[in-house]
Amino acid sequence: MTDTQPLPDRLVARTVEIDAATPIDLLAVAGSGGVLFEHEHAGVAGRGVALRIDLPHGLEGAAAIVGDALRSIAVDAAAGAGRDAGAGPVAIGAFPFRPGAPATLVVPALSVRRSPDGRQWLTTIGEGAAPRPPLELAPAASPSSLPDGFILTSPRSHDDWRATVAEAIAAIDAGAFDKVVLAREVVVEANRPIVVPDVVDRLRSLYPSCMVFSVDGFVGATPELLASRVGRQVRSHPLAGTYPRSGDPEADDALAAELLASVKDRWEHRLLVDMVARELGALCAELDVPDTPSILPLRNVLHLGTDIRGALAADDTSVLDLVARLHPTPAVGGTPVGPALEWLDEHEGMDRGRYAGPVGWVDARGDGEFGIGIRCAEIAGRRARLFAGVGVVDGSDPQTELVETQLKLQALLAALVRP
């Protein structure tokens, strides 16, 4: 195996199925120091570290490196669930936005997976015949330990950021690229350490249809599925085009119709869908790409989305192969991607870190699910960095784009700031 540290000897994974009549709270499995990726009550959570898989070149070669590492862990068939789809080790993590930047995925020492039909599996990984530790769930945080004072700052003024949007529009008019996704950040300082599980629990309540994640202080509730794989079945749900919601059902219906009729937003969305279809089509024997997008309603915004589904041409294509082909999509970088990223390096004025990078999980079969790390924050102690981006295209307006970032930032602020 190359590009990762030597594997410990005699790692063995033992999986047992847990009675679905007693659903396990995946967030309580992860606790404050574990990892979580949950989508509509299904997903995976873990704690402890059986193995760290270092990826010096990010997604480049990640499918082979991670697959080799996971398959090197023996599966104890005597545990009774060795052939189940939910059995065996998983690797969970978040990749930086910048393609090729180093990343690390974690194989938890203890993990729980839950399938969409409610089945649950507990997997523990240890050396040799080590006994399985008990499944202990983390308690909820005491209200007295939660922060109740907050200071919000924006590193870039609104005027400065609007001016940068205007520069992007001028670059588009000059033919430099067709679209660029420009992001901004807000920093929150709390009077006490921010309790990650408490924030994640609020995100689950506020955004039940989103993919909720927590990986080493990187938390969020993303509505955008980059890629999933179950056997040969694959799916992606790209989003581009955003309108605010009013809270009034009739007004929201009118806004949805306006969004669907918007030439600017439909063109921006088509750029994204064409790219995703082209990249997935290179690996699929079948691919269904709807001709028109649909409306994805969230708590405070409406998105244009297209649900793309297909069947892989080969059994050995991992979800990480799909992720490597798709990232960064025009939804988070721009198009053409090279010129757009070069422009961002010169003008965005911040290090995105893991914001807008892929986040999710993969197992030894290559099955898994990765969302795009948006509607997110990087939390460290009392400090949190929140991010939001917008797609700038021909016809964009700087003030309108600023308002869109404010709407998107509300997704995390509503869960994080509780005065």
- Which residues participate in catalysis according to the annotation? 179, 224
Report how far residue 103's alpha carbon sits from residue 274's, in angstroms, rounded to the nearest whole number: 28
CB 52 within 8 A of CB 98: no
Output the CA torsion sign for 215, 360, 114, 129.
negative
Structure tokens at 290: 């709807």
- Of 301, 309, 306, the C-alpha closest to 374 is 301
- Of 243, 220, 263, 264, the C-alpha closest to 358 is 220
Report how far residue 161's alpha carbon sits from residue 154's, in angstroms, rounded to the nearest whole number: 10
Structure tokens at 405: 């970032």
CB 255 within 8 A of CB 245: yes
Instruction: DSSP letter for 328, please.
Output: S
Report how far residue 215's alpha carbon sits from residue 218's, in angstroms, rounded to the nearest whole number: 5
E-assigned strand segments in 231-307? 233-237, 239-244, 284-288, 294-297, 301-305
Instruction: DSSP letter for 129, please.
Output: T
Report how far residue 94's alpha carbon sits from residue 354's, in angstroms, rounded to the nearest whole number: 7
- Of 283, 330, 281, the C-alpha closest to 304 is 330
User: What's the angle, vertex CA 78, arms to CA 75 and CA 81, rounded to 5?
Assistant: 70
Instruction: Return phi, psi of residue 185, to 5°.
Output: -130, 155
Report how far residue 278's alpha carbon sits from residue 325's, in angstroms, rounded to the nearest whole number: 10
Instruction: DSSP letter for 140, please.
Output: P
User: DSSP letters along 336-356, please?
Assistant: SHHHHHHHHHHHT-S--TTTT
Largest CA distance in the chain: 65
- Paired with 234 in beta bridges are 229, 310
Structure tokens at 377: 């924050």
